[in-house]
Structure 1
């Protein structure tokens, strides 16, 4: 159960965590063609095709028709949507398409968190918890989507090889609310969050936009930097 409110208030809880792998193309048994890297503009067009209605939309990770895995909630209950990603953007944004695909209330408040990388789910959950603390009637849908294959770099650079090995396409969603869940429904309580800058690793984990997608820097020193700075 996800909860952030004090004991004197109804506690925001996370209901029915959902996940889905996003496949941009079906598997094939044909002989693969020589690998080539499309230019960045072509990759962006692919992002738009994935996110547009009728495609393998990010909103479908939330389980239409309805909120599969979040028992006791309907699409009519959702008051806020928080979308997090750092691998692609388009306008109208994915949050817009999720509202359309799920049939959410047009008055749903929508927010996008971008360029936060691997930890994006945590500030998204923190924001959702703050909404529920401010308004115990709030029901927040949090959706995280990454389309890493759009930025596949085909070269012999160690950073690119490591990134291609580690990062895949995927999506996950969760509903956060102050409602107390029934005992038989699994949920997580959001107790507290903390944030700190570790400036030592500024040059060890980063990316910028190149002609063939994102150029990533992923140093082998990242675990050591985090291990030396993160407190138990």
Structure 2
């Protein structure tokens, strides 16, 4: 069951790296939140710490799968842009970078042995982090950058999830608060930019004045 979920999560990473429509980003981010919910529930359901289980389930299902996609949808509506019209590199090269990232993740996951972390979790977590970085590097628009940071954070979350019942409660609180604050700040930022620019690119930020 967990293996199927992790494989599907990896497929979403491949798809999100070549997606061009912002609506697709929203669906994939929401799907990743649902998948992380099932993984978290499966991994922590046997833990003795009920508080951690409830918190992680709430973080994945309510925040990652519902709240974040809704916030991103509002940003897209205010930006009034539905599709990525320009990338720093073509989609084909983005896919090649993701394939290379997958290979590097497999190699590093096989080499690194950290505590009780399972190899499949390590590989997928690394792949998610690399994919998030690739989204930031290969896109010019602000919205894919935000999605890239969310994908990267999902990879960090999987590192914590791999520890299972030993995952510290405060680590999850820190991740949640940091992510929530980042999304809110970037949401307000993108909204302000959307009022002045119809097609906000990263390069256009230098032209904004206080």
**What is the TM-score normalised by the length of structure 1?**
0.31
* Higher RCO by CA contacts (8 Å cutoff, separation 6 or greater): 1
The answer to which structure has the higher helix fraction is: 2
- The structure with the largest alpha-carbon Rg is 1
The answer to which structure has the higher strand fraction is: 1
